[in-house]
Every structure is written in structure tokens, then in C-alpha cells.
Chain A
Amino acid sequence: MYPSEAGTKTAVSLHRGRLARSVLRVKAALKLIWAYRLSYAFIAPFLVCFVAFILVPVVLAILLSFTYFNGLQPPRWIGWQNFLYLLSQDLIFLKYALPNTIKFALIVGPGGYAASFLLAWLISQLPNYARTLYALAFYTPSLTAGIAMTVVWLPLLTGDRIGYLNSFLLSIGAIEKPVLWVTSQKYLMGSMIAVTLWSSMGVGFLAQLAGVLNVNRELYEAGRIDGIKSRLQEIWYITIPSMKPQMLFSAVMAIVGTFKAGEIGQQLSGTFPTPQYAGHVLMSHIADYGEIRFEMGYASAISVFLLVLMYLSNKLGWKLFGSRGDE
């Protein structure tokens, strides 16, 4: 027997042994899965919808973003071209959609978030019955989200002197002639931000309120003994660290809500695209290409870009408020 032959023989038997072991392992895994079949049956209905309407669309969007697809002919693979065009030649995207989105997101996101934390903390300092009343007052506007919000605000912001805001400002002499709050390029973005902020005390605000209320009272007493002097120090050293999980949940909600707000400018101004693209954000750009020009491959590329933007912002949120494993 040649050594090499012996070598192959042992290799074969080794291989066989490995095969047998991996077969055993697969069998064990299957057995384990079978043992949990009831658990899988429980999660199945959600899982099916989740895969069909969230997972598959996200994967499809990523795939389509590398193609030319007009909805009629089958998609044609064009590599990175969509992204190259988006980031180097799409003037409306570079001049309006992206800066508008960033401006809107920076003010509404962190601004609304800080406001909801501040309000939640202020309310928590009140006795029980008053607390409920105020929480309700701040939360209620978010119930009008969507189209109803537009109806609420439009007559207030109408551009002629019948508009409530114009009439009020005219009567106190702050302005000399009516301002086109929602139809002029200059003011549309400001109106969008104000209206969105007004309705932003939603789920995230409630989560933060619950978080503040849930902080262990004894911690404050302990803190006082340890030399905490002001309420500001209390917030910084006790309140925020003990409600980090709620802060994170609320941050995620704020980020997602901010980036997906796209129709507000269109609904307020009543035109699409908005006057001189003043309220054109990424979501409107997606709608423009996807629903009007039927360039679905390109629209998918924009939505992938938006998803990446959302993901990066969320990463920042996790960095700020995420708790490490040992906490």
C-alpha cells in the first residue's frame, strides 16, 4: 500500500465521518425545529405578511435600483448607473430634494425629539390629575396626522387676508400685506416644519412620558444624598440614564416619522411638484419618478438611498441611547 493511497483512504473515511456527523447535526436541528413546530405555527401569520410586504419589497427595491425598469418591459440590468446619475447629474435631487430633506429632518427630528422630552419631563413634575390633562393636550394634535392635518391648517395659513394667521398678523401690524404661507417658495418649508412639529408629539412622546414616570423615585433621594443640587443635574445624571431604552424607542420613531413625511408639502401647497420645488423632499422625488414618470428602477434607487440615510441616522441614535450588553 502506497502512502498516498492510505492517505486517500483515511481522507475518505474522515470525509465519511464528517458527512455522517453533519447529517446527524442536520437531523438534530430538524428534530429541534420539529419540536418547536407549534411556535412556528404561532408566528406564521405575521411572518408571511412581514416577508411579503416588508422584507420582499426592501430586497426588490435594492435589486431594482440596479436596473432600468419602466413597468412595461422586463427590468434591464444597468449596474451603478442609477446611483451615479442620482449623485452627480440629477439637479433637482441635488439642488432641492436632498438639501430640503436634510433641512427638514434636522429641524423636525432632533427639534421635535428634544421638545417631546422636555414636555414629557415638565408634565411629569405635575400632580397626577393635571398630568393626564396636559398629556392629552399635547398628544391630541398627533391624532390628526395625515390628510386631516392639512385640512386643519390650510384655512389658518391661506395666503389672502382671510387666512387666520395673516389676518391676525395684519391686525397687530407685524406684516403689511398678506403672506403666501403655503404657496410661495420662501415660506412653504417653514410652514411644513411648523405643522409637522405641531403634530409630532405622538407615540414617541408617550413613550418618553412613561419612561420619565417610571424612573425609580429612590434614585432621586440617593442622588440628593450624593450631592446632586439642581433639577438639571437630576435630569442629566439620573433621569436620562434610567430611561435610555424609551429614549431610543422614541428616537427610532422620530427618525422614521421624519424621513417618511413627504406628502405634507404637496398637500399644503396643493400642487405637485411644490412651487419651485420648495417643499420637494426625497419621498416626493420617489413619487415623482415612480408614479408619474414610471422610471421605477431610478425611483427604487432613490428609495434605497433614503433607506441608507434612515439606517445611518438610526445608528447614531443607537450610539447615543443604546445600552451595552451588561446594563
Chain B
Amino acid sequence: MMAATAHNRFTRLLASVRLRRKSRLNRVDGFQKFLYVLLTLLGLFMILPLIYIFNHALKPYQELFVYPPRIFVQEPTLQNFTELFIVTSSSVVPVTRYLFNSIVTTGLAVLLVTIISAMCAYPLSKHKFPGHRFLFATILLTLMFAPETVGIPRYLVVSKLGIMNSYWGHLLPLLAAPVSVFMMKQFVDQVPNELLEAAKMDGAREFTVFYKIVIPMIMPAVATVAILTFQSAWGNLETSRLFMQDESMKTFPFFLSTLTNGLANTVARQGAAAAAAVILFLPNFIIFLFFQRKVIATMAHSGIK
């Protein structure tokens, strides 16, 4: 008896699975099949250089310059990474120092940019203080300008502030991120006013409202801003190039750019450069992989109305 009902249930389950699979198959129409082929080809083309750089970083010397060139590595080795770290450790500034500078500035930048942008976005969206329209219009306007274009006046400002050759010189220019404030502000707009007012009725102070209600509700935007800041700070070449004369204050991307200087003509250090590029790329990729859902959720509200 029991066995019979179990069997019954089992067949019903099977049938439903079969049905569902069939309906799913039906949904993949001709257009979608065509799409799959097209997008797969295109996607492979997009990823190919990345597959190749990973393989390149793992190639031993004799494979780096073999003819005809092969994309895939035959005998993977960590030789390039050891070269990057050990050979350069005897030079004036070891590579670990560049890496350390990068980690410090990137970590601080991510933390401070998210805090500062969120703090600015909250009143900008919810408090009607005098000048909030003007401030938002200015931020919108500066979205259209890249601060890199005015490198020389930026250099003058940084030197007048006396923050050359210090971590402040790396950090402070990154904190002025209108895009971050803009994205956060669009997200704070979605937080219902009633919620904030109710909290204030109950005697919550502004800071508590910000910390306990606004921040948890805009978490996707916080994650997105953190990721984008990480990407720009981790790959940031400008502050090292312009504001740091002291070699020991420069960052890892700068070190990589010295490796690649003249790479078009010469073969020296190609393996080490590939290894460094992998180090530069991998953290970006892993972090994005973890938070991609939140990023897309934030982007839905990123429109300029």
C-alpha cells in the first residue's frame, strides 16, 4: 500500500519534470537558438584575450616566444610570478612596496568613498535644504567632465595643499566622486519618506535614521559604489604619475607601466608583465562576481531623469 502510493507519487513527479522540461524546450524558439550561437561566439571573442593572459602568465620562458605562438600553456609554471617578486626585490623599491601602497590606498578609498558619498546622498535626496537643487545640478554637470582633463590645476592644488608624496595625495582626489554620489542619491530617492518620518516621530536622531534605516535600504548601491571605487582605485595610475615623485610612494599599476614601457619593441619581462596584469585583474573580477546581482539592481535606478 505504502509502496504503491510512493510509486504513484514518484511517477507523478517524473511526469511533471518531463512536462516542465518540455515547456522549457518549447520556449527556446528559433530566435533564441540563433541568439545563443551569436552571443556565444561574441562572448568567446571577448574573453579570449583574458584566457590568453592567464596562460601567458603561467608560461615558462621557452614557451613565451615559441613560433608559431600557442595560446594555451603546455607546462604551467609560477616562474613569472617568482621573477616578478624575487628579481625586483633587489631593486631600489621592491614590488611588494608598490603592492602595499596599492592595497592601503584602495582599501581606504573604498571605505571613505562609500561613507562620504552616502552621507552626501541622504540629505541631497531627503532634506530640502537651501541650495540642494544647485548642488545636484553641479554634480550632474561634473558627471560630464573627466577630472583627468584638468590634471595640471589638480597638480597645483595638490602641491599647494602639501599632500604630495603622501597617502593623502593618493586618497583625497579619489574621494571627489560625483558618479558615486549620483548613484547613491538615485537609490535614496526610492526610500519611502513615511519610513523616515515615522522613525523621527519615535525620537530617532538624524544620524540614527541614516545609519539604521537609510544605509540598510541602499545596501545594493553601497555595494556598487564600493566595487566601482575599488576598480578605479586599484587601477589608478594618475595620482602616482602626477603627485608622487618619491618612488616608494607609487602604486602597483605604475610599476606595471614601467614594465611595459617599450614592450611593443622588446621582449624583456613579458612574462613578468603578464603576471602583474593577472594580479591587477583578478581582484576586480572576483569582487564583481560576488556582487554582480546588487550591481545590476543599482544600475536600474541609475538613470538621469
A residues bordering B, Cβ < 8 Å? Answer: 29, 32-33, 36, 38-40, 42-43, 45-47, 49-50, 52-58, 60-61, 64, 119, 122-123, 125-127, 130, 132, 134-141, 143-148, 150-156, 158-159, 161-164, 167, 171, 182-183, 198, 201, 203, 206-207, 209-211, 213-214, 243-249, 252, 255-257, 259-260, 262-263, 267-271, 283, 286-287, 290-291, 296, 299-300, 303, 306-307, 310-311, 314, 322-323, 327
Known: A46-B181, A143-B285, A209-B296. 20 other contacts (CB 8 A): A36-B123, A53-B157, A53-B176, A56-B153, A56-B157, A58-B142, A61-B149, A123-B39, A135-B292, A138-B43, A147-B257, A148-B256, A155-B274, A244-B303, A246-B302, A246-B303, A256-B144, A259-B146, A286-B149, A291-B242
* 9 nearest A-B pairs in the assembled complex, by CB-CB distance: A245-B303, A210-B299, A60-B153, A137-B43, A260-B146, A36-B129, A39-B123, A46-B120, A57-B153
Give the docked Cα–Cα distance between A296 and B152 (Å): 7
* Known A60-B157, A209-B296: A307·B281 in contact at CB below 8 Å: no
Give the docked Cα–Cα distance between A33 and B119 (Å): 18
* Contact yes or no, B31 A125, CB < 8 A: yes
0/1 interface trace, chain B 116-141, chain A, CB 8 Å (1 if under): 11011011100101101001001100
Asked if B46 is at the interface of the complex by the 8 Å CB criterion, the answer is yes
* Contact yes or no, B154 A53, CB < 8 A: yes
Give the docked Cα–Cα distance between A163 and B157 (Å): 44
Q: Which of B68, B130, B144 contacts A311 (CB 8 A)?
A: B144
* Contact yes or no, B302 A207, CB < 8 A: yes
Give the docked Cα–Cα distance between A257 and B145 (Å): 9
* Contact yes or no, A161 B67, CB < 8 A: yes
Q: Which residues of B contact A287 (CB under 8 A)?
A: 151
* Contact yes or no, A60 B289, CB < 8 A: no
Q: Which residues of A contact B236 (CB under 8 A)?
A: 146
Q: Which residues of A contact B284 (CB under 8 A)?
A: 143-144
Q: Which of A55, A151, A270 contacts B262 (CB 8 A)?
A: A270
Asked if B60 is at the interface of the complex by the 8 Å CB criterion, the answer is no
Q: Which of A42, A47, A310 contacts B122 (CB 8 A)?
A: A42
Give the docked Cα–Cα distance between A36 and B303 (Å): 28
* Contact yes or no, A156 B52, CB < 8 A: yes
* Contact yes or no, A43 B292, CB < 8 A: no
Q: Which residues of A contact B262 (CB under 8 A)?
A: 270-271
Give the docked Cα–Cα distance between A210 and B224 (Å): 13
* Contact yes or no, B253 A146, CB < 8 A: yes
Q: Which residues of A contact B127 (CB under 8 A)?
A: 36, 39
Q: Can you spell out 22 A-B residue pairs with CB atoms less than 8 angstroms apart?
A: A38-B206, A45-B120, A50-B142, A50-B176, A52-B157, A53-B154, A60-B150, A119-B39, A143-B288, A146-B236, A151-B273, A152-B50, A156-B52, A201-B46, A206-B296, A210-B300, A210-B302, A213-B300, A249-B302, A260-B149, A303-B152, A311-B144
* Contact yes or no, B150 A57, CB < 8 A: yes
**Main secondary structure on chain B at its contact with chain A?**
helix
* Contact yes or no, A159 B264, CB < 8 A: yes
Asked if B36 is at the interface of the complex by the 8 Å CB criterion, the answer is yes
* CB of B182, distance to nearest CB on chain A (Å): 8
* CB of A215, distance to nearest CB on chain B (Å): 10
* Known A46-B175, A146-B235, A207-B303: A252·B46 in contact at CB below 8 Å: no
Q: Which of A57, A161, A269, A327 contacts B154 (CB 8 A)?
A: A57
Residues B227-248 near A (CB distance < 8 A): 228, 231, 235-237, 242
Q: Which residues of A contact B280 (CB under 8 A)?
A: 144, 147-148
* Contact yes or no, B292 A310, CB < 8 A: no
* Contact yes or no, B143 A256, CB < 8 A: yes
Give the docked Cα–Cα distance between A327 and B289 (Å): 36
* Contact yes or no, A303 B150, CB < 8 A: yes
Q: Which residues of B contact A243 (CB under 8 A)?
A: 303
Closest residue on chain A to residue B258 by CB atoms: A147
* Contact yes or no, A152 B53, CB < 8 A: yes
Q: Which residues of B contact A283 (CB under 8 A)?
A: 148-149
B residues bordering A, Cβ < 8 Å? Answer: 27, 31-32, 35-36, 38-39, 42-44, 46-47, 49-50, 52-53, 56, 65, 67-69, 71, 116-117, 119-120, 122-124, 127, 129-130, 132, 135, 138-139, 142-154, 156-157, 161, 172-173, 175-176, 178, 181, 206, 210, 228, 231, 235-237, 242, 253, 256-257, 260-265, 270, 273-274, 276-277, 280-281, 284-285, 288-289, 292, 295-300, 302-305
Q: Which of B152, B172, B303 contacts A299 (CB 8 A)?
A: B152
* Contact yes or no, A307 B149, CB < 8 A: yes
Q: Which residues of B contact A171 (CB under 8 A)?
A: 68
* Contact yes or no, A269 B264, CB < 8 A: yes
Of listed B178, B235, B297, residue having the most chain A CB within 10 A: B235
Give the docked Cα–Cα distance between A154 and B147 (Å): 28
* Contact yes or no, B146 A158, CB < 8 A: no
Give the docked Cα–Cα distance between A283 and B146 (Å): 11
Give the docked Cα–Cα distance between A143 and B256 (Å): 16
Give the docked Cα–Cα distance between A161 and B66 (Å): 11
Q: Which of B253, B289, B300 contacts A136 (CB 8 A)?
A: B289
Q: Which residues of A contact B32 (CB under 8 A)?
A: 125-126
Of listed B143, B153, B157, B280, residue having the most chain A CB within 10 A: B153
Give the docked Cα–Cα distance between A203 and B143 (Å): 13
Q: Which of A64, A119, A152, A299 contacts B277 (CB 8 A)?
A: A152
Q: Which residues of A contact B231 (CB under 8 A)?
A: 143, 145
Closest residue on chain A to residue B24 by CB atoms: A127
* CB of B119, distance to nearest CB on chain A (Å): 5
* Contact yes or no, B152 A61, CB < 8 A: yes
